[in-house]
Amino acid sequence: MLRPETKARARALQILYSMEIGRGSLDDAVTRLARLTGPDPAVYDGAEALADAVIRERDDLDRHATEAADNWRLDRIAPVERNILRIGVHELLRGDVPPKVAIDEAVQLAHWFGGAKAPAFVNGVLDRVAHTIGRL
Side-chain half-sphere CA neighbours of 9 within 13 A: 25
Domain count, the chain: 1
Mean pLDDT on 73-94: 96
Q: Which residue segment(s) compose the domain that 104 sits in?
A: 4-132
- The pTM of this model reads 0.93
CA-to-CA separations, 45 to 22, 38, 50, 75, 82, in angstroms, rounded? 21, 13, 9, 29, 22
The values of phi and psi at residue 10, to 5°, are -65, -40
Of 20 and 83, which is predicted with more confidence?
A: 83
The CATH number for 124's domain is: 1.10.940.10
* Res 92 pLDDT > 80: yes
